[in-house]
Structure 1
Amino acid sequence: MICLETQYFNLNRILLLAIGLWPYKQSNFTRFQFIFLSTILTTSLIFQCTPFISHKCTPDFIAKVLSSASFFALFVIKYNLFGVNIKAVRDLLEQLQLIYNELKDKNEFAIINEYGCSARRCTAALTICGICSLFAFLVAQFWSSILDNILSINVSESHHLPIPMEYFVDQEKYSYWILLHFNVSFCVGATAMVGIGTTLIAYLQHTCGMFKIASYRIKDAMSNNMLQNINLKNKFLIYEGLIWAVDIHRQAMKLSKCLLSSIEPMMFCLIIFGVTSVSLNLYRIFQITSADDISLNNVKELIMPIICATITVLYMFLSNYIGQHVTDHNHDVFVTVYNVRWYIAPLHIQKMILFLLQKESRDFVLNVGLFVVSIEFFATLVKTSVSYFTVIYSTQ
């Protein structure tokens, strides 16, 4: 028997348990943990917007503040909206577990194991990327201090945030507390992005495995041995195989759609703030690099927008890639139906095959509102981000 939690979602479970978002075993402590960490993330975003109150709002300053604030908004949206829908995610994982409990064929177990291992590798790779991003983020904060120590420069120690924030207190006096709040919020947000993102990717990867099983069941039911020796027993086996193929194909579509419908508000908000973040951070990168005198401080300021833009584009790509992956696997089911020797089967079996080729099923895609999640949509998002960046940069 397959146990999703221990076999394929163990790393996702560790990441989400750390921030109180693992769908199972929700206790009073995890609910307190969610409220506490959500408060840290939300207040961090608020303090990134408060400089508009105490500073003169020039176009460059507005772009500087919003470039980081729009990126942190992704953290807040992802964390809070997933927490709100955590029961729906748990129900979907339980439905997936029930479907896997019904598998009996060793080849079907092999297919699920292949896709489960692929999901685990993806989770591990993205976790490593997240750790590297956190390391680069910490280096960006303490760049000056590190250089001063290397070059043996004797200066008074000061701690500055890599982005503009206003706490309305003496920033030097409370610098350690401010740095702690900011770093904790970034670590929680990064963990949420990786943990939630990889969990959703792993879930959709498993639905791709279900589509693959549907293709396998069709091939197995319509094998040459069955079609060349049509008797009552083989007819029954063909019927049974096609029925089971249709059932798991229908359930794969249902689970994919249910997941997207439960997280649709989150995805729609992420699209808006993702495009905004990429545009403004590209503007910040070009703004810094086009300066007449590029100093060490400018190089330090470059790290944050580069990290933000890179992570956002990567997240856009992975989200749309997995959506395209699901669509392609659904298409492969119909390619399988076309390729089997259905034309030599009895007429009543051919009618069942035609049932699989209904137009409603063939056009199955994952939607976020009016948008189709696909590689084409990713290209549209990048094009839109670059277009907005071009407009902003041309007004400089």
Structure 2
Amino acid sequence: MICLETQHFNHNRTLLLAIGLWPYQKSKLVRLQIILFFGILISFVIFQFTALITRRCTVNFIIKVFSTMIFSSLYVIMYNMFWINSHRVRNLLEQLQYVCNELQDENEYTIIKKCGNNTKFCTLTCTAFAICSTFFAILLPIWPQILGTVLHINESRIQSQAIHITTEYFVDQNKYFYLILLHTNTVICIGATTLTATGTMLIGCAIHACGLFRIASYRMEQIMTTKMFKNVNLKDRAMIYNKKIFYAIEIHCKAIKFCEFLSSTFKGSFFLLIIICVISLSLNIYGIFQNISLGDKEAFLLHLLLASIILLYMFVLNYVGQEITNYNNYVYFTAYNSRWYNAPLQAQKLILFILLKGSRTYNLNIGGVIVASLECFATLTKTSMSYFTVMYSMEE
């Protein structure tokens, strides 16, 4: 018996517990934690927006504010997405656990265990990247203070150099500089944990969906093994064929149902996420080129970091969508290349059911608009570059 919560998703569980989004055992303290964290995230977006109200708005200033404000809204969207759909996330894990409880032999358990190992590896890799990115983002505005201590630079000059995210708190920003910095760093830590926890949870579910398709392929491969039917009469052979083909079709249908439930659970949030990622990527690429020309190294590094995170996030989510399509196609190829003509007539009809379903490529739909694939990633990147080109040409 495999316990997914403690064996496969234990790292994801730790990350989600840290921000109060683990869908089990919601106490009053956890609900208070959720409200506090969500309030911190959304307040940071609001305080960036208020800068547009109190200051003179030029095109460059608006782009500067929106490049960080829209990225910060990713934190809010992802946090809210798992918060309001916590019961559906729990249903996802329960569906997966139910399928794993019905596995039939050691090889199928090995496939699922490999999925668990891949999930843990991806989670640890993404967590390491998030820690490094968070440390870099926190250190970026602090290093002028460190440098100023050594070189005896004026403190007001240090503070003006340190602030690269434009905000308006309606207070003296020089006087409350360290409190503002604390709020910013808190948002960075909560936001980085949110993106990592929710993203790796989605990746883990997708990896296990690929595992279910792989088990369906394995069951199809085992149907036509000759040693299975040695010394078996025709009546029993037909019964064995039908039973094993039924099990292969059953887990294939459950895998498709699981993927459809996964995409429908976050349909609206995924659609909004696509728009936010495309706009934020184009604005941060513009910020990279703009700050290169201005010679602002700190702002350049900040925009480079944000653009890299968005690109990585978009690539990984589209890559796992492509893998789901590939594994589903492999089920069809396995059925097509099997010696189905040796099977009894009734079993051939069951195999035809898989062949007919496989003739139409199954894709993981995102937001009800686009299909998660490497082609989709290329399209979204090209769209962002097109928006960047328009903004850059308007400046010139």
1:71 aligns with 2:71: yes
Letter in 1 for 2:33: Q
Q: Secondary structure at the match of 2:307?
A: helix
Q: Shift in Å at residue 301 of structure 1?
A: 1.1
Structure 2 gaps, min length 5: none
Structure 2 match to 1:208: 210
Q: Shift in Å at residue 361 of structure 1?
A: 7.0
Task: For 1:162-173, list aligned pairs within 5 A.
Answer: 162-173=164-175
d(CA) in 2 for partners of 1:186, 1:230: 67
d(CA) in 2 for partners of 1:250, 1:211: 9
Asked whether the equivalents of residues 275 and 385 of structure 1 are also in contact (C-alpha less than 8 Å), the reply is: yes
Task: For 1:290-309, list aligned pairs within 5 A.
Answer: 290-291=293-294, 294=295, 298-309=296-307
1:323-360 residue CA offsets vs partner (Å, 9 max, x unmatched): 11111110000011011111122222111110111247
1:265 aligns with 2:263: no
Asked whether the equivalents of residues 329 and 358 of structure 2 are also in contact (C-alpha less than 8 Å), the reply is: no
Structure 2 match to 1:198: 200
Asked whether the equivalents of residues 78 and 192 of structure 1 are also in contact (C-alpha less than 8 Å), the reply is: yes
Structure 2 match to 1:40: 40
1:89 aligns with 2:89: yes
Letter in 1 for 2:208: H
Q: Shift in Å at residue 318 of structure 1?
A: 0.7
- Going from structure 1 to structure 2, the CA distance change for 1:246 and 1:361 (only over 3 Å counts) comes to farther
d(CA) in 2 for partners of 1:360, 1:335: 8
Asked whether the equivalents of residues 218 and 336 of structure 1 are also in contact (C-alpha less than 8 Å), the reply is: yes
Count of residue pairs brought into register by the alignment: 390
Q: Shift in Å at residue 363 of structure 1?
A: 2.4
Asked whether the equivalents of residues 332 and 358 of structure 2 are also in contact (C-alpha less than 8 Å), the reply is: no
Structure 1 match to 2:331: 333
1:254 aligns with 2:254: no
Letter in 2 for 1:210: L
1:239 aligns with 2:242: yes
d(CA) in 2 for partners of 1:215, 1:325: 14
d(CA) in 2 for partners of 1:173, 1:149: 19
Asked whether the equivalents of residues 23 and 86 of structure 2 are also in contact (C-alpha less than 8 Å), the reply is: yes
1:246-303 residue CA offsets vs partner (Å, 9 max, x unmatched): 1111001001110110101111111001001110001011011123xx2xxx111112
Task: For 1:1-396, list aligned pairs within 5 A.
Answer: 1-150=1-150, 152-156=151-155, 158-159=158-159, 160-226=162-228, 231-291=234-294, 294=295, 298-359=296-357, 362-368=360-366, 369-396=368-395
Asked whether the equivalents of residues 227 and 344 of structure 1 are also in contact (C-alpha less than 8 Å), the reply is: no
TM-score normalised over the length of structure 2 = 0.95
- Going from structure 1 to structure 2, the CA distance change for 1:321 and 1:230 (only over 3 Å counts) comes to farther
Q: Shift in Å at residue 92 of structure 1?
A: 1.2
Letter in 2 for 1:59: V
d(CA) in 2 for partners of 1:230, 1:318: 50
Letter in 2 for 1:389: F
d(CA) in 1 for partners of 2:204, 2:235: 41
d(CA) in 2 for partners of 1:94, 1:22: 14
Asked whether the equivalents of residues 331 and 362 of structure 1 are also in contact (C-alpha less than 8 Å), the reply is: no
d(CA) in 2 for partners of 1:83, 1:361: 38
d(CA) in 2 for partners of 1:78, 1:132: 20
Q: Secondary structure at the match of 2:195?
A: helix
TM-score normalised over the length of structure 1 = 0.95
Q: Percent identity?
A: 46
d(CA) in 1 for partners of 2:65, 2:183: 18
Asked whether the equivalents of residues 111 and 212 of structure 1 are also in contact (C-alpha less than 8 Å), the reply is: yes
More deviation in 247-256 or 356-365? 356-365
Q: Shift in Å at residue 116 of structure 1?
A: 1.1
d(CA) in 2 for partners of 1:148, 1:72: 29
Q: Secondary structure at the match of 2:155?
A: coil
Q: Shift in Å at residue 156 of structure 1?
A: 2.9
d(CA) in 2 for partners of 1:54, 1:343: 76
Asked whether the equivalents of residues 271 and 369 of structure 2 are also in contact (C-alpha less than 8 Å), the reply is: no
d(CA) in 2 for partners of 1:107, 1:284: 51
d(CA) in 2 for partners of 1:47, 1:145: 24
1:129-156 residue CA offsets vs partner (Å, 9 max, x unmatched): 0001001101211121233345x33433
Superposed CA RMSD in Å reads 1.5
Letter in 2 for 1:367: N
Structure 1 gaps, min length 5: none
1:16-75 residue CA offsets vs partner (Å, 9 max, x unmatched): 000000111111111111111000000000001111111111000001000001100111
Letter in 1 for 2:193: T
Letter in 2 for 1:155: N
Q: Secondary structure at the match of 2:329?
A: helix
Asked whether the equivalents of residues 19 and 190 of structure 2 are also in contact (C-alpha less than 8 Å), the reply is: yes
Letter in 2 for 1:353: I
Q: Shift in Å at residue 176 of structure 1?
A: 2.0
- Going from structure 1 to structure 2, the CA distance change for 1:68 and 1:230 (only over 3 Å counts) comes to farther
Letter in 2 for 1:222: M
Q: Secondary structure at the match of 2:103?
A: coil
Q: Shift in Å at residue 198 of structure 1?
A: 0.1
